[in-house]
Amino acid sequence: MAEAAMKKPEAAEAQDLTDGFHLIIDALKLNGLTTIYGVPGIPITDFGRMAQAEGIRVLSFRHEQNAGYAAAIAGFLTKKPGICLTVSAPGFLNGLTALAHATTNCFPMILISGSSEREIVDLQQGDYEEMDQLAIAKPLCKAAYRILHAQDIGIGVARAIRAAVSGRPGGVYLDLPAKLFGQVMDAEKGRRSLVKVIDAAPAQIPAPASVKRALDVLKSAKKPLIILGKGAAYAQADDAIKTFVEKSGVPFLPMSMAKGLLPDTHEQCASAARSFVLPEADVVVLLGARLNWLLSQGKGKTWGAASAKAWGRQKFVQVDISPTEADSNVRIDAPVVGDLGSCVAALLKEIGPSFPKPPAEWLAAVAERKAKNVAKMAETLAKNPSPMSFQSALAVVRDIVRANPDAMLVNEGANALDFTRSIVDMAKPRRRIDVGTWGIMGIGMGYCVAAAVVTGQQVIAIEGDSAFGFSGMETETICRYGLPVCIVVMNNNGVYRGDEKNASGGADPSPLVFVKDARYEKMMEAFGGVGVHVRTPDELRRAMEEAIRTRRPTLVNAVIDEGGGTESGRITNLNPTAAKKA
């Protein structure tokens, strides 16, 4: 782009004009949205350049999906919508998976996409990258808007921000046709048309009666349990949540991205006794967690019921910002609707000093089960098999994370995910980010970039070798921006395991296995980062410590026993079974 184009149009100097490009940039900056994750191209190339020139951090990715995942998790970490910027049609579609992911996970995000000429698109006359993007985005996000006129940019951006962060957060699509960018208007009028959003996510105070009802239900419990979900992590009400859990004395179970809200080593943490407390509990308090598949829909054997569809005996208290979440799967005896911070504050106000602690027998039973399982795990972790097992490698990661409690932990894969979640303790809130509600593969490198950019902290990514492959090209992005990311590829030669054979006896490998002994570390070396190939826990420890000491982009290719994993990790049961095996 010519130098001159970086400035406002020449005529603008004389007449003080502005244009669509600058109004969008100004609208974002006015609302504190100063980072964009995207991929350039028609019609947003100049927009990206100008945004960078105007002080916005513009991070370019190698694929829009990864930029989108970065924006989604930036939304989770900051409570502000993460911004993803894409080109029309194919770029938009590449970003759309991430927008849907953000919506499903209740993360605030705005996908801003350039689009082609409306009049040509609408008559289907075959424009460059023609697609009715607004219509396609609508069912996959919380709200979708299009801005046609420069004077509407202020309002359009404000609407997108409010839709993303208010109530239950989610993904918003903002469609910007190519023609909008060049539209010119009087600069002063333009300035006045911009909107600084006031109180984008207003506090939602729960009804006092609902708070009282919740505490009455909790008081009646003989075996209470608190489940912390990522909605509680998102709320950034860490102190209030900790105080509530500790005052109540109730054992708690963190969902994976709520790990660290209270330390996993907290004496009330019941993670190591999960399969005991879920069926045994009689009252369960859900704080920002849905009774979806991750909690067996609140019913079935997991909850001590006789059959898969039957309800257990539990009573549920559910604290959630969404008024329609309650009763989605089983009866909720005490719904408390509001933002988590306000709800927990209200619960704390009511709870008083004389609130009864849970019966000692319950606490003792949980503690006993915990101790038994922890001892069993310690035995496994102490082994040093060759090749490394997931457990012997993750024992190292556990130590490194313990020594670096502020580091961000990104995690995806199947066995690589499940073992990490159960072995690696988190000490602080919002340090663990993972596959989320869909169990999606591919979030890895996008999350690494955003985590490093948003927090400035060291990032450690524990990646299945398959999982890593979905976004592996972004190692270049990590090197380009010099981010302190240490990726550990748990290399077991395939999806779930690497020892499977082609059942037909043919020459093709099984659909689940990859090239044997692939040297993933060379990908990082290709872009100037550090690559290390490790076969033992000691080598892994040294490589990770060095990565953290130097803060250099590092990929550690950790050779793991290719027969050590199980199908789908912990969720083997979700695979349909054939009457006749292949």
**Is 335 a residue that touches ligand ADP (CB under 6 A)?**
no
Q: Which is nearer to ligand ADP, 45 or 275 (CB)?
A: 275
Q: How far is it, in rounded angstroms, from Cα 334 to Cα 500?
A: 49
Count CB atoms within 10 A of the CB of residue 181.
20
Sort residue 197 into left (φ over 0), alpha (ψ -120 to 50) or beta: beta
Q: Which is nearer to ligand TPW, 190 or 464 (CB)?
A: 464
The nearest distance, CB 379 to ligand TPW, in angstroms, is: 22
What residue has token string 């915990």?
370
Sign of the dihedral through C-alpha 177, 183, 187, 189: negative
**Is 290 a residue that touches ligand ADP (CB under 6 A)?**
yes
The nearest distance, CB 421 to ligand TPW, in angstroms, is: 12
Subset of 425-444 contacting ligand TPW (CB under 6 A): 439-442
Options 16-24, 35-43, 317-325, 527-535: segment touching ligand ADP (CB under 6 A): 317-325
Give the rounded distance of the alpha carbon of 312 from its chain centre.
30
Q: Is 281 helix (H, G, I), strand (E, B) or coil?
A: coil
**Is 333 a residue that touches ligand TPW (CB under 6 A)?**
no
CA-nearest of 523, 491, 487 to 409 is 487
**Is 289 a residue that touches ligand ADP (CB under 6 A)?**
yes
Q: What is the DSSP letter of 356?
A: P
Options 194-202, 394-402, 441-449, 492-500: segment touching Mg ion (CB under 5 A): 492-500
Q: How far is it, in rounded angstroms, from Cα 446 to Cα 454?
A: 12
* 405 upstream amide cis, omega within 30 of 0: no
* Per-residue binder mask for ligand TPW (CB under 6 A), 394-423, x = binder: -------------------xxxx-------
Count CB atoms within 10 A of the CB of residue 215.
20
Options 190-198, 224-232, 412-420, 495-503: segment touching ligand ADP (CB under 6 A): 224-232
The nearest distance, CB 406 to ligand ADP, in angstroms, is: 21
**Is 235 a residue that touches ligand ADP (CB under 6 A)?**
yes
**Which one of 115, 296, 420, 492 is in contact with Mg ion (CB under 5 A)?**
492
Query: Are 194 and 154 contacting, i.e. CB atoms less than 8 angstroms apart?
Result: yes
Q: Is 199 helix (H, G, I), strand (E, B) or coil?
A: coil
**Is 181 a residue that touches ligand ADP (CB under 6 A)?**
no
Q: Which is nearer to ligand TPW, 177 or 436 (CB)?
A: 436
Q: How far is it, in rounded angstroms, from Cα 174 to Cα 474?
A: 25
Q: How far is CA 66 from CA 99, 106, 450, 468, in A?
A: 11, 18, 10, 12
Give the rounded distance of the alpha carbon of 94 from its chain centre.
18
The nearest distance, CB 513 to Mg ion, in angstroms, is: 9
Give the rounded distance of the alpha carbon of 520 from its chain centre.
24
**Which one of 52, 210, 322, 373 is in contact with ligand ADP (CB under 6 A)?**
322
Contact partner, 552, from Mg ion, ligand TPW, ligand ADP, none, Cβ < 5-8 Å per class: none
Subset of 100-159 contacting ligand ADP (CB under 6 A): 105-106
**Which one of 38, 43, 48, 229 is in contact with ligand ADP (CB under 6 A)?**
229
Query: Are 164 and 79 contacting, i.e. CB atoms less than 8 angstroms apart?
Result: no
Q: Taking CB positions, which residue lies at the least distance from ligand ADP?
A: 231
- Which runs of consecutive H residues, i.e. helices, occur in 383-519? 390-403, 415-423, 444-455, 465-469, 475-480
Q: How far is it, in rounded angstroms, from Cα 538 to Cα 546?
A: 12
**Is 257 a residue that touches ligand ADP (CB under 6 A)?**
yes
Q: How far is it, in rounded angstroms, from Cα 402 to Cα 416?
A: 18
* Per-residue binder mask for ligand TPW (CB under 6 A), 467-486, x = binder: x-------------------
Query: Are 432 and 409 contacting, i.e. CB atoms less than 8 angstroms apart?
Result: yes
Options 38-46, 132-140, 150-158, 228-236: segment touching ligand ADP (CB under 6 A): 228-236
Options 16-24, 45-53, 67-75, 282-290: segment touching ligand ADP (CB under 6 A): 282-290
Contact partner, 288, from Mg ion, ligand ADP, ligand TPW, none, Cβ < 5-8 Å per class: ligand ADP
Q: How far is it, in rounded angstroms, from Cα 107 to Cα 61?
A: 20
Q: How far is CA 207 from CA 101, 290, 334, 349, 352, in A?
A: 31, 20, 12, 13, 18
Which tokens belong to 375? 């001892």
Contact partner, 423, from ligand TPW, Mg ion, ligand ADP, none, Cβ < 5-8 Å per class: none
CA-nearest of 183, 172, 155, 157 to 43 is 183
The nearest distance, CB 468 to Mg ion, in angstroms, is: 9
Q: Which is nearer to ligand TPW, 78 or 491 (CB)?
A: 491
What type of residue sits at position 479? C
* Per-residue binder mask for Mg ion (CB under 5 A), 452-471, x = binder: ------------xxx-----
The residues pairing with 559 across neighbouring beta strands, listed in sequence order, are: 491
Count CB atoms within 10 A of the CB of residue 428.
15
Q: Enumerate residues 6+ apart whose C-beta is below 8 A from 405.
A: 427, 428, 431
Options 185-193, 240-248, 251-259, 394-402: segment touching ligand ADP (CB under 6 A): 251-259
Strands 109-115 vs 82-86: parallel, antiparallel or unpaired: parallel
CB-side neighbour CA atoms (13 Å) of 369: 18
Q: Which is nearer to Mg ion, 320 or 465 (CB)?
A: 465
Q: How far is it, in rounded angstroms, from Cα 196 to Cα 189?
A: 15
**Is 565 a residue that touches ligand TPW (CB under 6 A)?**
yes
Contact partner, 569, from ligand TPW, ligand ADP, Mg ion, none, Cβ < 5-8 Å per class: ligand TPW
Subset of 159-178 contacting ligand ADP (CB under 6 A): 168-169
**Is 231 a residue that touches ligand TPW (CB under 6 A)?**
no
The nearest distance, CB 491 to Mg ion, in angstroms, is: 7
Could you tell me how many residues of this chain bind ligand TPW (CB under 6 A)? 18
Binding stretches for ligand TPW (CB under 6 A): 413-416, 439-442, 464-467, 490, 492, 495-496, 565, 569
Binding stretches for ligand ADP (CB under 6 A): 105-106, 168-169, 229-231, 234-235, 255, 257-258, 288-290, 292, 294, 320-322, 325, 339-340, 437
